[in-house]
A and B are shown apart, each in its own frame.
Chain A
Amino acid sequence: MSGGFSSLHPAVCFAYYVGVLLLGMLLLHPLFLLTAITILIVLQFYHDGGERLRKQLPLYMLMGGSIALLNPLFSHRGRVILFYFLDQPITLESVLYGVTMMLSLLLILLAFLSFYQVITTDKFMYLFSSVAPKTALLTSVAIRFVPLLKRRLKQISLVQRTNGIDVKVGSLRKRMRDGMTLLRVLITWSLEEALQTADSMKARGYNTGRRSHYVVYRMERRDWTVLLFLAGASAVSIAGWMRGYGTLQIYPTLAAIHFAWGDGIVFTSFCAFLLLPIYFEREERLRWKSSV
């Protein structure tokens, strides 16, 4: 993905997901959580037409569902007893709390699902390279090796099969020995090649002095504006939360569901925060639609 929300600076996108997680954990109110989940699901459809979500959904439902189910079985706090299950009182409060927890978990999972699609590996690397540049370089080198070693091992096992070295045939002992041989060839070969890589690094002046750091991304005016907006919206939500708005008191007794004006303000800023990527994705679509 290149357009829309992911065209923003990675730090801004990162701030958004941090905010979603933070608010999702603070504002434990079924209405808030449901709204957030709906928005993130819509965002998924903007990302890839809901392809990944469809794949992950069973797992998510299982994880969320089990929390909603298990909480009332183990927790018996609360005043309103709905019924008895195996002589255990099942309370309205614990059922509701379980559902809230389930929604919170789903929100976190959905946020991560979207996170992985927007903050790709290289963006993630970039974000952390300013904190730990050496580690970032090392990671970049290591990332190159993963497909490389895989491909080499495949080649080696193909060729060594013609010499009778094959981990797929023979006794267990022979297979293990052959596996070791293949691994030895892979390691010797890779070390040899790594020496050449080291030469190439030295030849290009590695370790001659302080390294600088090339950065692909630039904070543009738009990024600052968005960051400011996110900071504002989350500040209002958190301020409201500190005054007790935006949460539903469940334990020890369920508070009356009462939507005060304070809740309204928190809800508005919360929604504004969450809808940000949707805004960018929609803008992107509309721009192309109208130009055709």
Chain B
Amino acid sequence: MEIIRVERLSFHYPDQERAAVADVSFSVAEGEFVVLCGASGCGKTTLLRQLKREVAPVGERKGSIWWKGVPLAELPPREAAEQIGMVFQNPENQIVTDTVWHELAFSMENLGYPLAVMRKRLAELAHDFGLEQMLYKSVHELSGGQKQWLNLASVLLLQPKLLLLDEPTSQLDPVASREFIQLLRRVNQEFGMTIIISEHRLEELLPLADRVILLADGSIKYDGAPRAIGERIGRESPADRSYLPAVTRLYMALQAQVEAGQVDALPLTVREGKRWLSSVWRAEGEEIVQPVQEREQPRQEIVKCLEVTYQYGKGQPHVLRSLSMHVYRNEFLAIVGGNGAGKTTLLQVMAGLSAPQRGKVIVEPSLKIGYLAQNPLLYFSCDTVREELEQMAKHASLPEPKVEIERLLRVFELEELLCKNPYDLSGGQQQKVALAMVLLSKPDVLLIDEPTKGLDPSAKMRLAELLQELRAAGTTIVMVTHDVEFAARHVTRCAMLFDGSILAEGDSHSFFSENYYYTTAINRTVREWVPDALTEEDVMRRWVASSRFF
């Protein structure tokens, strides 16, 4: 049965020429799991918010939305709040109260449920979600992932029929985001709850979805089952392939190059990919291509961390313990590691923003260090992007600020946003502006904290190109990241931070191909045949080079 139907919906923000949502029609059946994807700024969030009346943005709206055959606008407010639940992007900001139990109860209190009902529902859900241990904790003690669980739980306590999620995992690390998605799967499978989720990272989501809607410039480009969409994207628009899981991309790339065995269903997961590969690989185990050793170049250490020990306060645990590490000139170093391993702290210590209790950081004196924090909002203090950049240029005392700003605007595709307030931009755009600001001071060593967080695939590609360009121009880049795929594809060297010190380091190829869990999906798929391949390009190269295998 149809639960919600959108008919020819268009939406204009005030004072905007371009429609944020343009002539969109679709309907969702009860129990469906729908994934809404598309580049950032394509109207995903606007569309989702139109479905949740209470948070619909102000603007000019045409078309209609029907909730179970009734216009959505005519639904009584209480029912609207109860039946359509929404979880937003930022885990921190959705929390209203100070303790976990109060936060859980908040939505039920709003609807005036009697105490007995609240008690029962809360008990049930706390048990089911495993929240009992943290019920009396302060919300500040929770990790980002736990906060997002809490937000979801609080919404689920109203027992909604439709759950809307606006990029709920974009601020989470991969482990927490995987857990969150599994939770959604459970909610969908076990309670039959209808889910509409907008997301960039489809790697884990696609296999769970019943349906994918790809938005481009405010209108629906594709709408259908994941495999059908995958095939259509593969045929019609190679540019959108980046939304597909890596395994699927590999399959498509190989199909285009060589006849690599047709399968009935497009592979979406590592498991399906392996099954497909093992059916087409002829000579098993024979003559595995040896990894090509890159020529060792003389390397010059420019930043040295010597036995750095850091703790936030007396009696607090050590965030960094006797950490020693070098950064070499003109390399692209990725520091990977779990949540709370001290990655951010390490960058801040290297940037000279925090002084370690023991040990020292030696930076070559002539070098300038630029630091880009994870949250771009920390950088904005002016009313428009232009002012922001100009002020930064002034601080950096550039000889030709105009030229430099123009160049960065072009590279970052920010021209259109120049007169906007930084706060009105989407998360990805804000990050671009902040990065542009840091780059204005022309740093020799760029320290970046989680640059790919919340970025869509094409933005990631552009970021990578830009970083490579910077490297070509002589900049050394140190990046802290959770994004294994991004690191595997673009960096030259990788270091793993665990429990406050560097446990393993090496050039990115050997680093990742030696890992079992902490490596790319492609590597996990093809490791039995090509152990050192990390990306689909690696596999392609091998495949074509050794086409006699087939």
CB contact between A185 and one of B88, B110, B378, B437 (< 8 Å): that residue? B378
> Does B81 interact with chain A (Cβ within 8 Å)?
yes
Closest to B102 in A: A140
List 18 additional contacts besides A122-B99, A202-B55, A214-B105; criterion CB under 8 Å: A140-B102, A141-B96, A144-B98, A159-B373, A162-B370, A189-B377, A196-B88, A197-B93, A197-B94, A200-B88, A201-B96, A203-B55, A208-B78, A208-B111, A214-B101, A214-B109, A214-B115, A214-B122
- Tell yes or no: B303 within 8 A of A by CB: no
- The reply to whether B82 and A205 contact each other, CB–CB distance below 8 Å, is yes
Q: Is the CB of B94 within 8 A of A196?
A: yes
A139 to B21, CA, bound (A): 39
Asked if A216 is at the interface (CB within 8 A of a chain B CB), the reply is: yes
* Distance, CA A196 to CA B105, complexed state (A): 19
Scan A52-88; emit 1 where CB is below 8 A from any B CB, else 0. 0000000000000000000000000000000000000
**Known contacts A137-B97, A159-B378, A185-B378; A203 and B86 CB within 8 A of each other:** yes
Check if A169 is an interface residue, CB within 8 A of chain B.
no
Q: What range describes how many residues of A lie at the interface?
A: 35 or more
Query: Within 8 Å CB of B77, what residues of A?
Result: 205, 208-209
Whether A206 sits at the interface, judged by CB under 8 Å, is: yes
Whether A282 sits at the interface, judged by CB under 8 Å, is: no
Evaluate contact between B115 and A212: CB separation under 8 angstroms.
yes
Is A158 engaged at the interface, CB distance under 8 Å to the other chain?
yes
Q: Looking at the complex, which one of A188, A192, A214 makes contact with B102 (CB distance below 8 Å)?
A: A214
Query: Cβ of B375 < 8 Å from any Cβ of A?
Result: yes
Per the bound structure, the CA–CA distance linking A192 and B427 in Å amounts to: 13
Determine the chain B residues whose CB is within 8 A of the CB of A144 once the complex forms.
95-98, 139-140
Contacts of B95-127 to chain A: CB distance below 8 A: 95-99, 101-102, 105-115, 118-119, 122
A184: Cβ under 8 A from any B Cβ: yes
Q: Is the CB of B96 within 8 A of A205?
A: no
A247 sits at the interface (CB 8 A):
no
| Contact (Cβ within 8 A) A205 B115 | no
Contacting pair B97 A158 (CB below 8 A): no
What are 12 of the A-B contact pairs (CB < 8 Å)? A140-B99, A143-B98, A144-B96, A144-B139, A148-B92, A156-B378, A158-B373, A185-B378, A203-B81, A204-B81, A211-B109, A216-B101
Does the CB pair B95–A211 fall under 8 Å?
no
Among residues of A, the one whose C-beta sits closest to the C-beta of B140 is: A147
Residues of B within 8 A of A (CB): 52, 54-55, 77-78, 81-82, 85-86, 88, 90, 92-99, 101-102, 105-115, 118-119, 122, 136, 139-140, 151, 154-155, 158, 348, 351, 353-354, 370-371, 373, 375, 377-381, 392, 395, 423, 437-438
A184 vs B379: C-alpha distance in the bound complex, in angstroms? 12
Contacts of A184 in B (CB 8 A): 381
Q: Which residue of A lies closest to B443 (CB)?
A: A162
Given contacts A141-B97, A184-B381, contact A204 B371 (CB under 8 A): no
Measuring CB to CB, which residues of chain A are less than 8 angstroms from any residue of chain B?
Answer: 122, 137, 140-141, 143-144, 147-148, 155-156, 158-165, 181, 184-185, 188-189, 192-194, 196-197, 199-216
A-B contact count (CB 8 A): 146
In the complex, the answer to whether B93 meets A193 with C-beta atoms within 8 Å is: yes
Contact present for A162 and B371 (CB under 8 Å) = yes
CA distance A199 to B49 in the complex (A): 10
Known A-B contacts A204-B81, A209-B111; A188 and B88 likewise in contact (beta carbons under 8 Å) = no
CB-based contact B78/A209 at 8 Å: yes
Given contacts A185-B378, A188-B380, contact A164 B423 (CB under 8 A): no
Contact A205 B81 (CB under 8 A): yes
Which chain A residues lie closer than 8 Å to B54 at the CB level?
199, 202-203, 205
Min Cβ gap A175→B in Å is 16
Given A203-B54, A204-B110, answer yes or no on A164-B395 (Cβ-Cβ < 8 Å).
Answer: yes
- Which of chain B's residues has its CB closest to A200's CB? B94
Bound-complex Cα distance A216 to B104 (A):
12
- CB of B106 within 8 A of CB of A204, answer yes
Most chain B C-beta atoms within 10 Å of own C-beta, residue among A147, A184, A188, A210? A188
Residue of B nearest to A148 (CB): B140
Residues of the B chain whose Cβ atoms lie less than 8 Å from the Cβ of A197: 93-96
Q: Which residues of B contact A155 (CB under 8 A)?
A: 373, 375, 378
A200 touches B109 (CB 8 A): no
The 8 Å CB contact of B110, one of A156, A163, A205, is A205
* B119 neighbours in A (Cβ, 8 Å): 214
Is A208 a contact of B81 with CB atoms below 8 Å? yes
Closest 9 CB pairs of A and B: A205-B81, A214-B105, A204-B107, A196-B93, A200-B94, A144-B98, A202-B54, A159-B378, A205-B110
Closest to A189 in B: B377
Q: Please measure, in the bound complex, the distance between the C-alpha atom of A156 and the C-alpha atom of B93, giving whole angstroms.
A: 17
Contact present for A207 and B110 (CB under 8 Å):
yes
Taken together as a complex, chains A and B put the C-alpha atoms of A156 and B438 apart, in Å, by 15
Please state if B381 and A212 are interface contacts (CB–CB under 8 Å): no
How many whole Å from A6's CB to the nearest CB in chain B?
13
Residues of B within 8 A of A148 (CB): 92, 140
Decide: B52 and A203 in contact? CB cutoff 8 A.
Answer: yes
**Is B371 a contact partner of A159 (Cβ separation < 8 A)?**
yes
Task: Please state if A203 and B85 are interface contacts (CB–CB under 8 Å).
Answer: yes
CB distance from B133 to the nearest CB of A (A): 14
CB-CB under 8 A from B99, the residues of chain A are 122, 140
**For the complex, what is the distance from the CA of A193 to the CA of B437, rounded to whole Å?**
22
Complex formed: what's the CA distance from A207 to B88 in Å?
Answer: 19
**What's the Cα separation between A139 and B455 when bound, in Å?**
36
The reply to whether B395 and A200 contact each other, CB–CB distance below 8 Å, is no
The residue of chain B having its C-beta at the shortest distance from the C-beta of A126 within the complex is B102
Nearest CB of A to B159, in Å: 12
- Tell me if A214 and B118 are in contact (CB < 8 A): yes
Determine the distance from Cα of A208 to Cα of B101 in the docked complex, in whole angstroms. Answer: 21
Which chain A residue has the least Cβ–Cβ distance from B84?
A203
Bound Cα distance A67, B136 (Å): 42
The answer to whether B55 touches A185 (Cβ under 8 A) is no
Pairwise interchain contact A193-B92, C-beta atoms closer than 8 A: yes
**CB-nearest residue of chain B relative to A194?**
B93
Q: Complex formed: what's the CA distance from A147 to B140 in Å?
A: 8
Q: Is the CB of B110 within 8 A of A158?
A: no
Shortest C-beta distance, A48 to chain B (Å), equals 17
Across-interface contacts of B381 in A (CB, < 8 A): 160, 165, 181, 184-185, 188
**In the assembly, what is the distance between CA of A215 and CA of B371, in Å?**
47
Tell me the nearest residue of chain B to A146, going by C-beta.
B98
A165 to B379: give the CA distance in the assembly, Å. Answer: 11
A140 and B423 within 8 A (CB): no
Closest A residue to B447 by CB, please name it: A162
Contacts known (A208-B78, A211-B110); A200 close to B93, Cβ less than 8 A: yes
